[in-house]
Amino acid sequence: MSQPHLRTVVVLAAGEGKRMKSALPKVLHPLLGRTLLGHVLSAAAPLRADRTVVVVGHGADQVRAHLAEFAPEATPVLQERQLGTGHAVRIALDAVPEVTGTVVVINGDVPLLRPETVAALVEAHESAGAAATVLAAEVPDPTGLGRIVRDAEGRLEQIVEERDATPEQRGLREINAGIYAFDVARLREALGKLSTDNEQGEEYLTDVFGLLRDAGEPVAVHCAADHVETLGCNDRVELAALRQLLRDRVNEGWMRTGVSILDPHTTWIDVTVTVERDAVIDQNTQLQGATAVGAGALVGPDTTLVDTTVGAGASVVRSHAVGAEVGPQASVGPYAYLRPESRLARKAKVGTFVETKKATIGEGSKVPHLSYVGDATIGEHSNIGAATVFVNYDGVRKHHTTIGNHARTGADNMFVAPVRVGDGAYTAAGSVVVSDVPPGAMAVARGQQRNVEGWVLRKRAGTPAAEAAQRAREGASDEAPAAREGERIHERPETMGGPVNAGDTATE
């Protein structure tokens, strides 16, 4: 059985990217869940390289920090002065003198590169026993790109940068994609012979191919099936174009697995997201980070989910969620905001204009509208009245509120934490609850209503309100005898703090 090839990946990520006009190094600009550099490293990952070296330069500390988080196994190597791609590769190999076998070199700004294409390049290179193989592509417009120049037999003759190309060579549409495979021993030897005799005064890695060919070494060209994979970016306009191309690729991939995306042009799904079969993604929706959408769930329209899990059959409509969990068949929105550590159990509901933070909402429980639930646990099958606020912060520390199972809280309640409402308990509308409520009790915490008769007629005389009140009083005087004869005047029962009836709990 043949031994596996030893492989090393070198990513060129030292450039400043001046046309990006950014304090952020070009390779760290984001694109659907990963940086440009992150996409390149992910494309190379299936090679299972023995070593990965990233050449850093401009913004080196920022790039190192990103590597420590995204690819801690990679070795950053500093190119203090950017003296060309050949110089960068020589520095990278000097940092790993022990490597043998195949070296794969990739520019750090080709985020659409597929792992399959990298693998095919390496396979073609190793199968042919070539000293060097370049990935090429036929492009509609080769402006600004290095050209592949072939001899009369169709073999690689040289790779020419556009600024150094003749008018005839500039008419070629087969371009250098900036991705290569080399035999490391022959590459090291050729790198030592590079010249800076060109318009930029730099060591071109592409000159290695001419040196190897002149030395009688076999060099090869491997063509990418789709030139779009080889596109890089130099400014924000090109970055936006790449983002759209990647969006379309991602959306098409999910639709082919059985996901319905109703408007692919306004749906943006990070490459790190997972979506299960029969989920429906409506228009103007962004799924970001580690978000996962379960089978048959509905997300959108006008929804952003970041690092959020949506269970099977759940719905999230016109809402924003970060670091949240939405259980199976639960519903969120419209116009809800789930902040980190918000957890909805099966069939729970967070409705219109509700904000939650570090809150657990039990199975079948509802927070229908106009409420804030922070640092709280709500049991099963409870209902939280409209305009409720869980008062969790005393100005120094956060405190927790617990609502039991099958509880019913009134509209316009304030729960001043720490406080506990027992199973099956009720709270009256307008209450400020500062003490625990025993199971099955009704808590009423509000002042008794007092009506000041005639106040509007005395204090707001001549206003439309006063005139309306006067007409009503006159009408009531005319109807009073009938009421005394045939009607019973309803009086609401009083308890501590004021009247209480079924209307004190919010509608569901």
CATH number reported for the structural domain that contains residue 162 in this entry:
3.90.550.10
Question: Do residue 263 and residue 218 come from a single domain?
Answer: no
Which residue type, as a one-letter code, is found at position 26?
K
For 451-467, the DSSP string reads --TTHHHHHSTTSHHHH
Number of domain units in the chain: 2
Check: CB of residue 346 under 8 Å from CB of residue 326. Answer: no
At which of 443, 466, 501 does a domain end?
A: 443
For residues 269 and 226, membership in a common domain is answered with no
Bridge pairing between strands 7-13 and 309-310: unpaired
Token readout for 192 is 């030592």
Out of 230, 246, 272, a domain closes at: 230
Same domain, 276 and 225: no
pLDDT at 493: 47
Percent helix, strand and coil across the chain, each rounded to 5? 25, 30, 45
Provide CB contacts within 8 A for 409, sequence distance 6+: 382, 383, 384, 385, 388, 403, 415, 421, 426, 427, 505, 506
What residue numbers bound the domain in which 305 lies?
258-443
Helix residue ranges per DSSP H, 171-280: 184-191, 207-214, 236-256
Sheet strands (E) in 113-173: 132-138, 147-150, 156-160
Q: Provide the CATH number for the domain around residue 290.
A: 2.160.10.10
* Residue 369 designated active-site: yes
496 part of a folded domain: no
Query: Given this model, what pLDDT does residue 200 score?
Result: 81
Same domain, 13 and 62: yes
Note whether residue 65 is domain-resident.
yes
Domain-embedded: residue 475: no
For residues 170 and 256, the answer to whether their CB atoms sit within 8 Å is: no
- Token pair in block for residue 153: 């037999």
pLDDT tens sequence for the chain (508 residues): 344 569 999 999 999 899 999 999 999 999 999 999 999 999 999 999 999 999 999 999 999 999 999 999 999 999 999 899 999 999 999 999 999 999 999 999 999 999 999 999 999 999 999 999 999 999 999 998 999 999 888 899 889 988 889 999 999 999 999 999 999 999 999 999 998 887 788 899 999 999 999 999 999 999 999 999 999 999 999 999 999 999 999 999 999 999 999 999 999 999 999 999 999 999 999 999 999 999 999 999 999 999 999 999 999 999 999 999 999 999 999 999 999 999 999 999 999 999 999 999 999 999 999 999 999 999 999 999 999 999 999 999 999 999 999 999 999 999 999 999 999 999 999 999 999 999 999 999 998 889 999 999 999 999 999 999 999 999 887 765 554 444 443 444 444 444 454 444 555 6
* Domain membership flag for residue 247: no
In this structure, the answer to whether residues 185 and 268 fall within a common structural domain is: no
Looking at 443, 466, 498, the residue that finishes a domain is 443
> What is the reported pLDDT for 201?
81
Both 216 and 364 in one domain: the answer is no
Q: In terms of domains, do 53 and 187 share one?
A: yes
Q: Identify whether residues 336 and 205 lie together within a single domain.
A: no
173 and 278 in a single domain? The answer is no
Buried-state track 119-154, b at ≥16 Cβ within 10 A, e below 16: ebbbebbbeeebbbbbbbbebeebeebbbbbeeeee
* Distance separating alpha carbons of residues 467 and 478, to the nearest angstrom: 17
Same domain for 274 and 200: no
Residue 398 per-residue DSSP state: B
Query: Does 457 fall in a domain?
Result: no
The number of angstroms, rounded, from the C-alpha of 146 to the middle of its chain's C-alpha atoms is: 35
SS3 421: strand
Given this model, what pLDDT does residue 506 score? 52
Task: Give the CA radius of gyration of the chain.
Answer: 34
Q: What is the pLDDT of residue 163?
A: 87
Q: Distance (Å, rounded) from C-alpha 252 to C-alpha 255? A: 5
Q: Identify the active-site residue in 320, 369, 399, 406.
A: 369
Residue 437 placed within a domain: yes
Query: Does residue 393 share a domain with residue 320?
Result: yes
Helix (H, G, I), strand (E, B) or coil at 431: coil
- Residue 245 in any domain: the answer is no
Do residues 18 and 161 both lie within one domain? yes
Asked if the structure places residue 175 within a domain, the reply is: yes
